[in-house]
Structure 1
Amino acid sequence: MAATQVIRSEWTKIRSVASTVWTLSLAVVVTIALGMLISALSKNEFDNMDRRDQLSFDPTFISFAGMTLGQLAMIVFGVLVVSNEYSTGMIRTSLAAVPRRGTFLFSKIAVATGLALVVGMATSFVAFFLGQAMLGEHKAAIGDPGVLRAVIGGGLYMTLIAMFSMGVAAMLRSPMLSLGILMPFFFLISNILGNVGATEKIGRYLPDQAGSKIMQVVTPVDDDTPYGPWGGLGIMLLWVIAALAGGYVLLKRRDA
Structure 2
Amino acid sequence: MAVSQVLRSEWTKIKSVRSTVWTLGLAAVVTAGLGALICVLSKNDFKNLSQEDRLTFDPTFISFAGMGLGQLAMIVFGVLVVGNEYSTGMIRTSLAAVPQRGAFLFGKVAVATVLALVVGLITSFVTFFLGQSLLGSHQAALGDPGVLRAVVGGGLYMTLIAVFSMALATMLRSPMLSLGILMPFFFLISNILGGVSATKKYAQYLPDQAGQKVMQVIPPLDDDTPYGPWGGLVIMLVWVAAAMVCGYLFLKKRDA
- Aligned match of 1:11: 11
Structure 2 residue identity aligned to 1:192: I
**Alignment-mate amino acid for residue 34 of structure 2:** L
Report the AA paired with residue 248 of structure 1: Y
Q: How far apart, CA to CA, are the structure 2 residues paired with 1:29 and 1:5?
A: 32
Mapped to 1, the partners of 2:131 and 2:185 lie a distance apart of: 28
Q: Deviations over 1:199-251 (max 9, x none)?
A: 00011000000000000000110000000000000000000001111100000
> How far apart, CA to CA, are the structure 2 residues paired with 1:62 and 1:142?
14
Q: Partner residue of 1:25?
A: 25
Q: Tell me, what secondary structure is at the counterpart of 1:199? A: helix
The 3-state SS of whatever aligns with 2:198 is coil
Aligned residue number for residue 45 of structure 1? 45
1:97 matched to 2:97 = yes
One-letter code of the match for 1:234? V
Secondary structure in 2 matching 1:113:
helix
Distance 1:235 1:178 in 2: 22
Q: Determine the structure 2 residue equivalent to 1:78.
A: 78
Quote the Cα distance in structure 2 between the aligned partners of 1:37 and 1:134: 9
Matched positions, count: 256
1: CA distance, partners of 2:65 / 2:48: 20
Shift of 1:189: 1.1
- TM-score for both structures, normalised by structure 1: 1.00
**C-alpha distance in 2 between matches for 1:245 and 1:184:** 23
Q: Give the letter aligned to residue 46 of structure 2.
A: F
Number of the residue aligned with 2:237:
237
| Aligned position for 1:159 | 159
Q: Deviations over 1:161-207 (max 9, x none)?
A: 00000000000000000000001111111011100000000110000
> Once superposed, what is the RMSD of the aligned Cα atoms?
0.4
Residue 225 of structure 1 pairs with residue 225 of structure 2: yes
Partners of 2:185 and 2:61 lie apart in 1 by: 22
Which residue does the alignment assign to 1:139?
Answer: 139
Q: TM-score, normalised on structure 2?
A: 1.00
Could you report, residue by residue, the CA deviation over 1:90-121 in whole angstroms, capped at 9, with x for unpaired residues?
00000000000000011000000000000000
Taking every aligned residue pair, what percent have the same amino acid on both sides? Answer: 77
2:117 maps to what in 1?
A: 117
Q: Runs of at least 4 residues of structure 1 off by over 6 A?
A: none
The CA distance in 2 between the partners of 1:219 and 1:175, in whole Å, is: 36
- Structure 1 Cα separation of the partners of residues 110 and 244 of structure 2: 12
State the match for 1:186 in structure 2. Answer: 186
Are 2:64 and 1:64 equivalent residues in the alignment? yes
Where in structure 2 are the equivalents of 1:196-215 lying within 5 Å? 196-215=196-215
Shift of 1:74: 0.0
Which amino acid counterpart does residue 162 of structure 1 have in structure 2? Answer: A
Gaps in structure 1 of 5+ consecutive residues: none
Gaps of 5+ in 2: none
Amino acid at match of 2:10: E
Separation in structure 2 between the aligned mates of residue 33 and residue 183 of structure 1, nearest angstrom: 20
